[in-house]
């Protein structure tokens, strides 16, 4: 009964959500695209000719946004789950933390890259503290990988959850990057602990 009520509440929230409706009208696969759009408008992340890695890409709205708005890009998108093809995108199905998939990424770019973005999060368990910790680990993995693959003036954007590991992420980002900001887009739901860390300029 509780599960049915939760499902009904989710459906009602989706129907009321302006970003869900907007994504359907504009042909994007999820409302998450508007979080990236806001981040980009504030921090000028993307530009024509950039090489970009999209971690946790499924269902693909972030890669859609980049492919649609920028020219001459080199874009690789990876996720554990298979998702529909996106124009001008090299798609990988797998776990980026495993060496075999890291090597596929490196082989595609054949050198250092400009931008790494990550919207990775674990499947929620209902335990918000546990979810926060596990998603933070994904952020740290992405950040450390970025240290290896980014150009000196590269940019890194990742989802984080405000929780017990927040300070650890901030401290790690300061060790790796010269510039660090935390930003919560208007498209993120108010009740969500989700924010994004935006970093640039490797040390």
pLDDT band per the 50, 70, 90 thresholds, residue 46: very high
The answer to whether position 85 is within a domain reads: yes
Share of the chain above pLDDT 70, in %: 87
Catalytic site residue 104?
no
The answer to whether position 191 is within a domain reads: yes
The answer to whether position 19 is within a domain reads: no
Domain extent at residue 183: 30-202
The answer to whether position 24 is within a domain reads: no
Distance of CA 167 to the CA centre of its chain: 19
The continuous run of DSSP H or E covering 7 comes out as helix 2-16
Kindly report, residue by residue over 139-165, the tens digit of the pLDDT.
999 999 999 999 999 999 999 988 788
Which CATH number does the domain housing residue 42 bear? 3.40.50.150
What are the two backbone dihedrals, phi and then psi, of residue 193, each rounded to the nearest 5 degrees? -85, 5
The answer to whether position 35 is within a domain reads: yes
Number of domains in the chain: 1
The answer to whether position 118 is within a domain reads: yes
Q: Is residue 12 predicted with pLDDT exceeding 50?
A: no
The one catalytic residue among 128, 159, 175, 181: 159
The answer to whether position 163 is within a domain reads: yes
Strand order in the sheet with 74-79: 89-93, 74-79, 51-55, 113-118, 150-161, 194-202, 177-183
What's the pLDDT score for residue 42? 97
* Lowest pLDDT segment from 6-15, 142-151, 161-170, 194-203: 6-15
The answer to whether position 50 is within a domain reads: yes
What's the pLDDT score for residue 124? 63
């Amino acid at each position: 009964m509780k599960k049915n009520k939760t499902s009904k509440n989710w459906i009602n929230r989706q129907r009321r959500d302006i970003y869900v409706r907007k994504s359907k009208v504009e042909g994007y696969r999820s409302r998450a695209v508007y979080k990236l759009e806001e981040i980009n408008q504030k921090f000028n992340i993307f530009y024509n000719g950039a090489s970009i890695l999209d971690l946790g890409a499924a269902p693909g709205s972030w890669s859609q946004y980049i492919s649609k708005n920028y020219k001459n890009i080199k874009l690789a998108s990876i996720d554990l789950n298979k998702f529909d093809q996106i124009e001008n995108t090299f798609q990988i199905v797998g776990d980026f933390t495993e060496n075999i998939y890291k090597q596929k990424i490196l082989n595609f770019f054949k050198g250092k890259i400009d931008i790494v973005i990550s919207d990775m999060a674990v499947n929620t368990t209902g335990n918000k503290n546990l979810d926060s910790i596990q998603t933070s680990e994904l952020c740290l993995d992405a950040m450390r990988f970025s240290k290896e693959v980014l150009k000196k003036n590269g940019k890194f954007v990742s989802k984080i959850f405000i929780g017990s590991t927040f300070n650890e992420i901030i401290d790690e980002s300061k060790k790796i990057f010269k510039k660090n900001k935390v930003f919560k887009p208007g498209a993120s739901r108010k009740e969500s602990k989700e924010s994004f860390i935006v970093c640039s300029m490797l040390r």
